[in-house]
Amino acid sequence: MASSTSTASKAAWRLLSRRATTPRRVVALPDPHRCFSCSVRAHRPEKTETASSRMTHFGFENIPEGEKESRVGAVFSSVASSYDTMNDLMSLGIHRLWKDHFVRSLNPGSCSKTGAAGQNGWNILDIAGGSGDIAFRMLDHATNINHDRATRVTVADINADMLAEGRKRSIDTPYYNTDRLSFMVANAEHMPDVADNSVDLYTVSFGIRNFTDKQAALNEAFRVLKPGGVFACMEFSKVQNPVFNEVYKRWSFSAIPLIGQLVAGDRASYQYLVESIEKFPSQEEFREMIRQAGFVIPGQGYENLSCGIAAIHKGVKPLH
């Protein structure tokens, strides 16, 4: 019995010794600071915002950003043939006086604008100008006041129906079928066909409030303007007098859509246009957006028209 016990003890001792001298297989343990879910997240592509996920306003309605361009386009296609009537309603009939003042303040074709006049005249880009209202006035002023027959205007608009209306109206002007007046379809937020530093004067009249990304349009204006070039915008704004503001709002929201229905058979488009004015930034807020694009702001930066029903904003691209 003792002999068998001794034999078993020796066998057990040999087994333990063999285990002690045999190299152990090393098993790599997971990093205590990483887990499976973290590894999965590390390889998961980040979500990026798209035009279909970002929201913007269409009047008082919040809609996906990707829808705004087509919906605004539908509005202006609807009102293209009654554009003057629309502006008469929105401005109480004085938009023509505002436009005349706007053009006089810019004095196109004058030699006083450094680097803009000369043998080649001014190169003017009129954005959202499909009807031709501002372009015709610019050319008339340059020709009749400053005796400049070289200044030219390119009318750019995203809406083909508005451009068609402008082309039709141009037939009755001296500029029809001349190189002084041209029309192009363009999105003001991205204009690859307009070269850097190529424009002397950039104008936008009663259009920028309808843009999806106003800051992008301002940045693009800065890009295409020459150093020393001028950005000029006339837009419906915030009435300064509280009593008059209340009267104007009542007129806007009650009468304009109704008259739009009676005159143009389109209440919804006129309702949007009224709401778009209400959503547009204040004079001070828009001035800061212009400054943010890189422009130097002359003086106060804006001029109120008719107590602020509309305002003219200007910015100058620095020379250096």
Which residues are annotated as part of the binding site for S-adenosyl-L-methionine?
131, 157, 187-188, 205
Which residues have C-beta within 8 Å of that of residue 86, sequence separation ≥ 6? 79, 260, 264, 270, 273
What's the token pair of residue 76?
A: 């202006």
**Structural contact between residues 205 and 233, judged by C-beta atoms closer than 8 angstroms:** yes
Q: Who's near 117: CB < 8 A, 6+ residues apart?
A: 109, 110, 111, 148, 151
Between the two ends of the chain, the Cα-to-Cα distance in Å is 108
Q: Tell me which DSSP letter residue 204 carries.
A: E
Helix axes 256-264, 267-279, angle to 10 degrees: 150
* Alpha-carbon radius of gyration of the chain: 33
CA angle in degrees (0–180, nearest 5) for 58-63-67: 85
CA pair distance 244, 69, nearest whole angstrom: 32
Annotated binding site: 131, 157, 187-188, 205
Give CB contacts under 8 A, 24+ apart, made by 180-184. Answer: 180/139, 180/149, 180/150, 180/151, 180/152, 180/153, 181/135, 181/139, 181/152, 181/153, 181/155, 182/152, 182/153, 182/154, 182/155, 183/130, 183/154, 183/155, 183/156, 183/157, 184/154, 184/155, 184/156
